[in-house]
Amino acid sequence: MIPVTGFENARVGILGLGRSGLSAARALRAGGAHPVCWDDNPAAREMAETEGFDVGDLLREGAFDAIARLIVSPGIPHLYPAPNKVVANALRAGVPVDNDIGLFFLSLGTEKWAEFDDPPKVIAVTGSNGKSTTSALIHHVLEHAGKTSQLAGNIGRGVLDIDPPDDGGVVVLELSSYQTELARALTPDVAVFSNLSPDHLDRHGGLGGYFAAKRRLFAEGGPDRAVIGVDEPEGLFLAGQLSEGPDDARVIRVSVEGKLSGPGWSVFAKKGYLSEYRKGKQTGSIDLRPVKGLPGRHNHQNACAAYAACRALGLSPRVIEQGFHSFEGLPHRSQVIAEKNGVTFVNDSKATNVDSALKALEAFSSIRWICGGLEKEGGVGGLKPGLANVVKAYVIGREAAEFAMQLEGVGAEVCTTMAAAVAQAMDEAQPGDTVLLAPAAASFDQYDNFEKRGEDFIAEVQARLQAGL
């Protein structure tokens, strides 16, 4: 646990008692603060009471008279589409609003660090797609290199639940826009911006607000080194804002659109080959094509970002390459779950929006595509560049028929359920085909989350394989 400092004997409000809220309450108490907890869910309040926390209605009049700060869980809106009433009351009372990420950066460094030969480092990763894989890949490479690494934030453990890092330790954080938009302290040593595509627009008041939430990771204190994907206008703009000139090595530009030139530091992938350039000269390269845990162009972008972050910490290209080859990938993200009779089965249930699903479609050929679910704003027109790789689509979800009608030029069968889709796809698959789950939609019409949807796909595939069907 990272005890929160700076609030000794102070009352600190906690709004939302899920994983991050309870973790913040424990860390505040460990640092000598007095948490006052609230959640609309009675069961959550009861759980906090069983841990001995003071549960107080933060909506009542005068609730913030003696509160030093309000800590808000990521899922609770503070501005758009409308502020939560508790948050609004705190702001009217002049009480600062923060989250567990802000508390983490506020409290991470201790006097003990002065005794270390190599003070701990923090790598923070944000972006629309690929940030989980990028974070996990960085963590894996660091461990392969013999460094002590902890993975936390939006993946792995809560940021305040990790162990205080020791001499030479590294903390790798995956941070969502919900986490970066509110944290009052954001001071990583290395910050990574992977890419940007429309998502969570209602929460951020549009694409500009969404980008602004991501940009805060680089503006609230500023990292020593910034790894920036420059294939979208926003990333290109951000790199320009952070750089003092073409040869400013504090900014490492990353691309999978083509070769990056100039005197600065860049990492790019072209036709499956990763290249690193510094001062106009190539300083490293990796053939990514045989790396099984990183298939496709989108994973090559993740590999470039992870490579750049690890190079920023001083790891050699060969050590990083070795780490890449032993990386098995993450569940539900281009996860190869089986291969039989020349047919490959891939679970990419995390492809919940059009952009991430398109990347999955571009990563494979001859695809039997299982798609559909709770459609997101904007429709599915953006999938068109990847549809040439689709042999046939098998559409699931309560609105499967409407989803299928939008897939112009592709044979689509309305299956509705995962069981029916898997059965039909497997019956029709030929050697060389890939049966791919990449829904391009949210899961909530049929499942609690994308993990449950992916697990259902895996179970259906394995059951039919075991039965010899």
**350 among annotated binding-site residues:** no
**255 among annotated binding-site residues:** no
**130 among annotated binding-site residues:** yes
Q: To which residue do tokens 């106009």 refer?
A: 280
DSSP 394: E
The answer to whether 9 touches 32, Cβ cutoff 8 Å, is yes
Q: In three state form, how does the secondary structure of 273-329 look?
A: EEEEEECCEEEEEEECCCCCCCCHHHHHHHHHHHHHHHHHCCCCHHHHHHHHHCCCC
**128 among annotated binding-site residues:** yes
Angle between helices 317-325 and 131-144 (to 10 degrees): 110
DSSP 467: T
The answer to whether 70 touches 15, Cβ cutoff 8 Å, is yes
Burial 407-444 (b: 16+ CB within 10 A, else e): beebebebbbebbbbbbbbbeebeeebbbbbbbbbbbe
The answer to whether 288 touches 325, Cβ cutoff 8 Å, is no
Task: With CA atoms as reference, report the closest residue to 414 among 401, 432, 405, 429.
Answer: 401
Rounded Cα gap, residues 251 and 191, in angstroms: 10
**32 among annotated binding-site residues:** no
**133 among annotated binding-site residues:** yes
**449 among annotated binding-site residues:** no
Q: Please state the residue numbers annotated as binding site for ATP.
A: 127-133
Q: Please state the residue numbers annotated as binding site.
A: 127-133
